A and B are shown apart, each in its own frame.
Chain A
Amino acid sequence: MSRAEHVYVTGMSAISAGGHDIEQHWQALMQGETKIGPSQKDDLSTWDNQLAGEIQNFDWNRALPDRKLMKLISKQDIIGLHAAIKACDASGLTPFLAQAMQDDVSLCDKTAVFVGSPGNKYFQQYDFLALVKESNGDMQHFAKHLFEQVHPTWLLRILPNNVLAYVGIQLGCKGVNHNFTNHVVGGMQALIEAYYAIKTGQADRAVVVAYDIATEPQARFYYEQLGVLSANKLAPFDKSHDGTVLAEGAAAIVLESASSVRLRGVKPIAQMLGGKSTTEGVGICSLTDDGKPLASLMQQGLEQMGLYSYDVDMLVAHGNGNQKSDDSEALAIAEVFGERSVPVTAFKPLMGHTLCASGLIDTTLAIQALQYKHIPAIINCKKAAPQAEKLDLVFSAREMKAQLPTAMVINRGFGSMNAMVAFKACEHHE
């Protein structure tokens, strides 16, 4: 049922603690920097662990062209929409759609929006805190003072599909759309489904965006109790790995069919080869220790794409620094690729774990690596953890020798979810 057309990346963007654009992220990665540090945004001074990956020196007032809109949506929506607009600008899609709205709206009808949304956050309910305190369980008091205490458009500020809606409204995308609220892998699933929407002819092009402010204190309180946060550093596959660091960020990718690329006369950055996602089905916070389900997913993904393991020139691991996740991931990679047969890197030590945005941020940086034909080193990884000793961990940056290299990116999340995608560098479009 798939049409033969290839699917290309024609624009992308990222914002996180690692930088305000992809080039800043790339430079920091290649220099081995980590932008993780004590939280500056929330007063966690009495907390033992204050590490976070926060976006620094960003002019939030200029985040969106429509400043009025910024008052109507939440901060996490703002960075999501910011990333989407930047990727569309980079691909030239913004003026194309503006023109299409005037001349041929059918082009807008074939422009999809796929979003990885963090869903609702605890912080969005805080507008009710004062009212709840005053009411002290008296719902009649609560109702009587509701309109004095809470803004009439509160619900519209917290809609989990705000970014999707405003990408449509602001840019003129009117096609097939989905808003994935599947924790970490939501962003990666948005990318995979956008790919299939194009392959099956549902869409000619798609704006894919994922975003998250994973640093909110109420959630990090729970992550800390679960024992998954590091108070030291995020060190994937290193023998000292002891947890992850929560972060905020967003990324966006514009995907297009070969016909759309030709129609618009744009130069593709990379070719998307496909992707796949499955659940291990073992619970919300659990995963399988031996990595077998992840290995099976990768193997099936490779087969679907018509690739052999030796076709992959770089593997961007999920590598969140959590011992259990890293170890099972290392076992899965070794099972599929064999011992030390694919260079394995991970990007999260740069900016932290942005949860729902992490799959897309890692993907944009993987595509950047394909363009530069360089594999960044795993920051903070000096000596492999026992389970990762069979991997070819990238301790220092290295070149990719293939003329048009291929990268695989892995993403994992709550719900024992795994996802993978693969991209190939391209010099020119069809």
Chain B
Amino acid sequence: MNQRRVAITGLGVVCPIGNSVESMWQNLMAGRCGVAEIGQFDASQFPTRIAAEVKDFQASYPNAQKWQKQLMCFTEFAMQAAYEAVCDANLLPAIENPADFGVVVGSGMMTAEFEYFERFQQAAAPEGHTDWSKLKEAKAEFYQQQDFLKTTSNSGLSALVQAFGAKGYATAVHTACASSGQALGLALQAIRRGEAKQILAGGFDSMINPIGLSSFCLLGALSTDNDDPEFASRPFDGTRQGFVLGEGAAFLVLEEWESAVARGAKIYAELAGEGNSLSAYRITDSHPNGDGAIQAIQQALQSAGVTAQDIDYINAHGTSTKMNDLSETNAIKAVFGAKAHQIPVSSTKAQTGHLIAAAGALEAVITVLSIEQSMVPMTAHLRHPDPECDLDYVVEGPREKSIGVAMSNSFGFGGSNSSLVFKNPAWRKK
């Protein structure tokens, strides 16, 4: 099938180990970890009181002061990361063909910030349950239009579209932790079919707030290694006991290959294929044998026109939960067979935490940089091997390696799976 190729021409990141692509990569390679005691609110009495928070964030995107009033905090991360990506792609000061420029985002699930929820409670639920007559009475003090603009489901998408001048394809998706992996896959399909020539694609999220933290504490899904935060996220380790919440945003500029070449853009890598499947198993658990993930990985290889033998590196979903890491390991074994043990597999969530809806996009950026820099990131904190997780998880530290083709996986609550394949621009099929 002769289809349009998709180049990656811009990258942008705001995450717990750096608020730019360069700082993130340096800290990742240096083995620095973004997990620490939560600083945004008093979490001292929660079962989990650690997270990977964005640190020292300063907005420098255009008209940041104006936008700040209309945006939730994690949407600001999105604006900053997107700005870095479009600058990196050399698309500013203005998008040349707005009708050919699209935006696709995987956005988080938090409805509103806690401060807003407290104000709402005082106005409309002073007794702890909603009383709509009270809301009417409190209208003058409570109503602020920007509250609604911040909390509408596509407010982040809308801000990105407006700020960067898109007039083409635009959408937002949410499939929990697979959100931004699927957003990139959707953007790839849109460019392939000629819907857009350039798409700003990525994700943004933060669930580090009292309700978000509560929701995962209630489920018992988070690591409770509060006294040893730097080692709390340890994907594939035999003693792993839950993931660590992260926050942030990551964006990539995807571009029709010929268009990127014609304007002389720097091409980091090719987004060559995507796999997308539904496990249809359980709402929280992945299938222990890797079913669902297996189909996504196989589809991604097929979509990219490569075989299992071609893969040089896998950036794993690797959440540090018992079931995910086992399931993903088994999926990799099922697809790659004997080759599975020869492929470096690493989870960077050990250092970044789990950015939920933004995780796939951040890890896509990391995978692209791995190709560009010929460096495989390590799986940090893996000290006690799990006999059932027995792949080459790159435990010794970042590894120099020329990478022709790499894969990045994201699997979400609800069973949505995303697998992306990236090619080095210099790679040729043997």
Contacts and interface: CB of A to CB of B under 8 A. Distances in A.
A281 B416 contact: no
B158 A119 contact: no
Q: Which of A144, A160, A280 has the most CB of B within 10 A?
A: A160
Interface string B1-36: 111100000000000000000000000000000000
A175 interface: yes
Nearest to A199: B193
A279 B280 contact: no
B117 A176 contact: no
Contacts of B281: 169
A392 interface: no
B99 interface: yes
Nearest to A164: B414
B278 A173 contact: yes
B170 A129 contact: no
Interface stretch (A40-48, A236-244, A341-349, A401-409): A40-48
B405 interface: no
A414 B218 contact: no
A199 to B, nearest CB: 8
Interface string A164-177: 11101100111111
B109 A1 contact: no
Given A142-B210, A164-B278, A165-B415, A181 B173 contact: yes
A42 B133 CA distance: 11
B127 A415 contact: no
B283 interface: yes
A382 B186 CA distance: 43
Nearest to B103: A279
Contacts of A122: 111-112, 120, 151
A4 interface: no
A151 B414 CA distance: 19
Given A43-B132, A226-B145, A284 B155 contact: yes
A197 B189 CA distance: 9
Interface residues of A, number: 95
A226 B152 CA distance: 13
Interface string A128-156: 11101110010110111011001111111
Contact of B173 (A43, A128, A137, A178): A178
B219 interface: yes
B157 A178 contact: no
Contacts, number: 280
Interface in B164-200: 165-176, 182, 186, 189, 192-193, 195
B107 interface: yes
A281 B166 contact: yes
Contact of B172 (A156, A181, A200, A276): A181
B416 A120 contact: no
A13 interface: no
Given A125-B111, A146-B217, A134 B128 contact: yes
Contacts of B43: 139, 143
Contacts of A283: 158, 162
A202 B275 CA distance: 9
B128 A144 contact: no
B211 interface: yes
Interface residues of B, number: 92
B282 to A, nearest CB: 7
B168 A279 contact: yes
Contact of A165 (B135, B149, B218, B414): B414
Given A165-B414, A226-B145, A281-B167, A155 B107 contact: no
Contacts of A121: 111
Contact of A176 (B192, B219, B277): B277
A156 B284 CA distance: 8
B135 A217 contact: yes
A361 interface: no
A147 B218 contact: yes
B389 to A, nearest CB: 25
B148 interface: yes
A74 interface: no
Contact of B170 (A1, A155, A219, A279): A279
Contacts of B193: 1-2, 196, 200
B65 interface: no
A387 B44 CA distance: 60
A185 B27 CA distance: 40
Contacts of A276: 195
B279 A284 contact: no
A161 interface: yes
Nearest to B137: A46
A225 interface: yes
B126 interface: yes
Given A119-B154, A151-B218, A161-B175, 18 more contacts: A1-B3, A45-B133, A125-B211, A130-B128, A130-B129, A140-B45, A143-B45, A160-B109, A162-B283, A193-B186, A218-B130, A222-B147, A278-B168, A279-B170, A281-B165, A283-B162, A284-B149, A417-B154
Which A-B residue pairs are the 10 nearest by beta carbons? A165-B414, A119-B153, A168-B280, A130-B128, A143-B45, A155-B215, A222-B148, A415-B158, A133-B128, A279-B170
Interface of A: 1-2, 42-47, 72, 108-109, 113, 117-122, 124-126, 128-130, 132-134, 137, 139-140, 142-144, 146-147, 150-156, 158-162, 164-166, 168-169, 172-183, 186, 189, 193, 196-197, 200, 202, 217-219, 221-222, 225-226, 276-285, 293, 296, 413-417
8 contacts: A1-B192, A118-B153, A126-B129, A137-B118, A153-B218, A168-B279, A183-B153, A281-B167
